[in-house]
Amino acid sequence: MSIWVQLLVFGITGSLLYYGVYFGTPLLIKKGVPLIYAFWFFLWFPVISLFPVSLLLYHLEGNTWAWQDFLERFRFNPITQNEWYWVVGAIVFTIIFDQILEPLGKFFAKIPLLAPPNYLPAPFNPLKRMELPPSEFFGVYLYGNWKLIFIFIPLHLFAMLSEELMWRGFFLPIQQEIFGNWAWVINGLLWAWVVHACLKWHFINMLPSMLICPWIAQFTDSTWASFATHSIGNSLIWILLIVGIMKNTTKPQKIKSI
C-alpha cells in the first residue's frame, strides 16, 4: 500500500476530528445539544469508524477471514511476561513526560492560533483549572452517576481498540516494510500531528504518548502491547470520574445528569 493511501486515511480521520472539535461541537451546542453528547460524538465517531474501515482494508488486501489469519495480520500476539515490564515502563514514561511537558501545553494554549475552543473543560483545556475531586464532567453532574461510567468506559475502550487496530495493527507492519526500524517514528508523528491535529496546543506534549505506542508495538511485535499502553495510560480519566461519582459535593446549578 502506497504512502499516499496511508496519508489519505490518516488525513481523513484527522480532518473529521478537527471539524468536530472546532465546528461540529459548537454547532450542536448552539442547537441545544448537551456538551457531553456533542463533543464525544464528534470525537468518537471518526475513531470508532476505523474498526470497520480496517476490516475493509484487510479484505481488500486479499486476506482470508480465518481467525488465525486475522490475528497474525493485525499482530494480536500475546504479551509475554518480560514484555509486560516494557509496557509498564512505557506507561510510567508517558505519565512522567506528560507532567514535565504540561507547562508547554499551557504556553501554546495562550497563542490564539493554537488555543483550544472555549467550551472545552479541564483537564482537556490546560487553561482551565480542574476541580479535585471533580463534581462534573462535560456539564454532567458526577456524584452517584454510575450510569455515566458504565457508558463511558466501554465506548472509550472500543475507540482505543479501533485506533490500535488501524494504526498499529494494519498500518504499522506496512510502514515497517517501507521505513524499516524507523516505522514507529513515522507512525507516531502521523498519529500525533495529523490524526490529533485538533489538539494543536499539545503538539509537543503529545509526542511522548504518541510515539511510545507505535514503539512498543514494533518492539514487541504485538498490537496488544500498544493497546495496553494506550488504554491503561488513558484510564487515569476513569479514576478521576469514579472518584467524582463516589465523592458527594454540592450539585452546581444548571448541571445536568445523564
State how far the Cα of 162 lies from the Cα of 49, in Å rounded to an integer.
8
In which element (H, E) is residue 184 found?
helix 183-190
The answer to whether 109 and 115 have CB atoms below 8 angstroms apart is yes
Q: Give pLDDT, residue 1.
A: 75
The answer to whether 78 and 222 have CB atoms below 8 angstroms apart is yes
Amino acid (1-letter code) at residue 255: I
State how far the Cα of 16 lies from the Cα of 165, in Å rounded to an integer.
19
State how far the Cα of 15 lies from the Cα of 254, in Å rounded to an integer.
33
Q: Looking up cell 472546532, which residue turns up?
A: 22
Q: Give pLDDT, residue 253.
A: 53
Residue 52's SS3 state is helix
Strands (E), the chain: 136-137, 140-141
Instruction: Pick the closest to residue 3 from 140, 210, 183 (CA basis).
Output: 183
Per-residue pLDDT of the chain (258 residues; tens, 9 = 90+): 788 899 999 999 999 999 999 999 999 999 999 999 999 999 999 999 999 999 999 999 999 999 999 999 999 999 999 999 999 999 999 999 999 999 999 999 999 999 999 999 998 999 998 888 899 999 999 999 999 999 999 999 999 999 999 999 999 999 999 999 999 999 999 999 999 999 999 999 999 999 999 999 999 999 999 999 999 999 999 999 999 999 876 655 555 556
Q: Give pLDDT, residue 166.
A: 98
State how far the Cα of 180 lies from the Cα of 150, in Å rounded to an integer.
41
Question: What are the residues whose beta carbons fall under 8 Å from the beta carbon of 102, sequence distance 6 or more?
Answer: 126, 205
Q: Quick one: cell of 48?
A: 470508532
Amino acid (1-letter code) at residue 209: S
Q: Give pLDDT, residue 47.
A: 98
Q: Give pLDDT, residue 130.
A: 84
How many residues appear in the chain?
Answer: 258
